[in-house]
Amino acid sequence: MTASVDAIDDFHELRDTGGILGGINLRIFFFLDKPKLSLVILGSINKQNNGPTPLGDRRRMARRKRNYLNGEYSGP
């Protein structure tokens, strides 16, 4: 198995290593906005190792989620 989803704080992380992307260690962060029935992508990183997600990246994604929920991002 090359892909998995794990809970990180109050959002989720999709991890893919060695799958269709080859040797790229990709992480995509998202959460489900249930009232709007939406999947919100918070961001992605290309990790250089297989350790835990760096604290700085977790904080950045949490800030983006907070900004989204506070209406600071506009969309169609």
DSSP 72: -
Res 25: pLDDT: 82
Does residue 76 lie in a domain region?
no
List, in sequence order, the alpha helices (H) in 4-53.
Answer: none
Rounded Cα distance between 41 and 29, Å, is: 6
The pLDDT of residue 33 is 93
Q: Copy the structure tokens of residue 47.
A: 């990790």
Return the pLDDT at 59.
Answer: 94
Residue 46 has phi, psi (to 5 degrees) of -110, 100
Whether 27 maps to a domain, the answer reads yes
30 CB neighbour count, 10 Å cutoff? 19
Domain membership of residue 23 as a residue range? 3-69
**Total domain count for the chain?**
1
Asked whether residue 56 is assigned to any structural domain, the reply reads yes
pTM over 0.85? The answer is no
pLDDT at residue number 76 = 54
Q: What is the pLDDT along the chain (76 residues), one digit of tens a residue?
A: 578 888 888 899 998 877 777 777 889 999 999 999 999 999 999 887 777 888 999 999 999 999 999 988 766 5
Going by C-beta distance under 8 Å and a sequence separation of 6 or more, which residues neighbour residue 38?
Answer: 32
